[in-house]
Chains A and B, each alone.
Chain A
Amino acid sequence: MKNFMPILQLEMKRRSKDFFIIFYNIIFPAIIILLLGYLTSKSYGTEFTSYEYYSIVMIPFCLLMAIISIAYAAQDEKRLKTAYRFMTAPIAEAELVLAKSFSCTIMLTICSLIILGIAKLFFHLSFHGSFGFVAILVFSESIAVTGIGLCLGLACKNFFIIKNFLNLPIMIFGFLGGVFSPVSSLNPVLSSIINSTPLTWINRGIIYSIYGSDHTILLVTSGMSFLLGIAAILFAIKFFKREEFF
């Protein structure tokens, strides 16, 4: 694994300059929280404001949207025309995929922690001592997002067909997860659909952890995202072929 560190360095440099990852994980959620918070400020009281609600639900949603950025980041070599070099270089596939996954996870976690800080400072989101737990969830979700993104970008043969449609399921998850307005239903079919989306459990986990001091849902969700992320990364390593860079 002697080549791992130089590639990781290179990937970190690329990711830290990736305007879209930074924009869609820091600036965009801030704008949407501000907009939605202001829009619905009249229908919330003073004890728990609309800004707090949208900070809680919008940050994991934007992190999920990063699947698209990661899927494209996985194909950097194609875009930057460096595929030939990677084809001939004596680097193991695992090193390449791991370097990408480490850099993406680190960058996504940092961006999400920054926006959580912004939410605390400007939108008065109080964590009631659960910041550590929320950070764990954000980190695990970053791993899952990176894993799925890399799988789509590196190991999926028909990437060109599905890449444009990635935002549709993410938006639907958002609607069902209560990202745009709180969702609830007593209809058994609808409530089971709501309960089957990942964002519902992520948001529920954060709210239970912060306002109910019950960390079970958050930790279970974090554990599942972590395992899913690791499995997806292993899958990407197994099925990735350097020829796909072309």
Chain B
Amino acid sequence: MGCIIIIKNNFKRSFHKKTGFLMNLLLPILVVMLGIAANHVSRPSFILGVIGEDTLQNYKNVVNALQNTEGITIDKANAETIKVDTITGKYAAIVEFTGDEFEIYSVKDETTISSLDNLIKTYIKNPEPLEIEEIIGTAMSISKRTVGFIVLFLMITSTITASLIIKDKNNGTLKRYKYSPQKAGTYILGNFMYNFSITYFQYFISVSLMTILNISIGISYPNLLLMGLWATALATSFGNCIATLFRREMYATLFSTAAALVLSLIGGTFIAFEYMPKLLQYISVISPLRWFIDATANMDQGINWFSNIQIICIISVMIFVLLVISIFINKKNRVVTFSPDQ
């Protein structure tokens, strides 16, 4: 009963400030949609810059073969800006052809450079396009990147929604609540459910709109919605936990951005788990994003969300632990009236 009162009260408060609430509701939808669209457009590709004269036979053969190689995009590079172009990532590597020789410039690791070297040598002998997985190996699939991105942003936006907890602390509502015959857990659960319903609504709308617009990331719509339940619950419990920790909204916002970023880095959002150094592979166990990305890899192969039973259990335990931490902190919080943030 206590939970429902809190949910109702939170909705009433939010409706009271209509512009703020609408922004709160619509902006994350826009961001998630933009993220999905951006990930959809930027398919992983190895952009290779080439320098050489069109009259050279080697150059013509190799460039033709490279153009037809899946995963490689070719562009004419500028000989004067070789170093900066490879550092800024404009080109993953630049190949310069002079006579019968060629030279590769890149800031990439030796393995990638030697695979590229071998590929070009093969193409000089026989210009037939080949499969080149080892060169673009660290690039992640669209679905994995998109899921990583969505969970990261849900974690940040749910902290924004959870800022009602901070307001409660500062204007004395929490103090009154604590004097009433209610449990600390009820307060946290009520806020969790309120935040969950808003965040899931945002997730639902953005995923549905993307499906209507026919932008697919490779996971079926029902699977996406089911995964969203856990993703939203996790993001919400994370946001609530951070909101119970701080007394100023700025601290909560900045901390959630920093923490979510670190978790997504070690979780494998930016670089595939298999290519991480060993130590980070062990540490990544604590990042929920790693488990979502693992589940996405399974779903990519057509497996249903509920078949990832082990991953679902791990994520559920994480949600439970975050909720318990929030309840514990909320219980221990001294009820002093702090100067309000706004």
Contacts and interface: CB of A to CB of B under 8 A. Distances in A.
19 contacts: A24-B258, A28-B258, A38-B280, A39-B276, A43-B112, A43-B138, A48-B107, A53-B107, A65-B257, A68-B253, A78-B342, A79-B248, A165-B23, A168-B157, A172-B31, A186-B47, A186-B73, A187-B41, A211-B87
B84 A207 contact: yes
Interface in A17-74: 20, 24, 28, 31-32, 35-36, 38-45, 47-48, 53, 65, 68-69, 72
Query: Main SS of the interface on chain B?
Result: helix
B342 A164 contact: no
Contact of B20 (A38, A45, A160, A186): A160
- Please give me the 4 A-B residue pairs with the lowest Cβ-Cβ distance, nearest first: A182-B89, A48-B107, A164-B160, A212-B84
Given A161-B19, A166-B253, A167-B254, 11 more contacts: A35-B266, A39-B266, A42-B275, A162-B23, A164-B163, A167-B253, A168-B28, A180-B265, A185-B42, A187-B41, A212-B83
Contact of B257 (A171, A189, A207): A171
A9 interface: no
Interface of B: 19-20, 23-24, 27-28, 31, 34, 38, 41-42, 47, 73, 75, 81, 83-84, 87-91, 106-110, 112-113, 138, 153, 156-157, 160, 163, 248-251, 253-254, 257-258, 261-262, 265-266, 270-271, 275-277, 280, 339-342
A236 to B, nearest CB: 18
A182 B88 contact: yes
A35 B262 contact: yes
Interface of A: 20, 24, 28, 31-32, 35-36, 38-45, 47-48, 53, 65, 68-69, 72, 75, 78-81, 158-168, 171-172, 175, 178, 180-187, 189-190, 203-204, 207-208, 211-212, 214
A31 to B, nearest CB: 7
A102 B73 CA distance: 48
Contacts of A166: 253
Contacts of A186: 47, 73, 75
Nearest to A185: B42
Nearest to B34: A172
Contacts of B110: 45
B271 A167 contact: no
A162 B266 CA distance: 30
A164 B249 contact: yes
B144 to A, nearest CB: 14
A42 B109 contact: yes
A204 B88 CA distance: 7
Contact of B90 (A28, A65, A184): A184
B271 A79 contact: no
A63 to B, nearest CB: 14
Given A168-B27, A180-B270, A45 B84 contact: no
A161 B20 contact: yes
A43 B275 CA distance: 9
B87 A48 contact: yes
B303 to A, nearest CB: 28
Contacts of A53: 87, 107
A54 to B, nearest CB: 11
Nearest to A79: B339
A53 B138 CA distance: 17
Given A20-B250, A32-B262, A161-B23, A43 B108 contact: yes
B81 A181 contact: no
A178 B88 contact: yes
B41 A163 contact: no
A41 B339 CA distance: 46
A212 B81 contact: yes
Contact of A44 (B41, B108, B342): B108
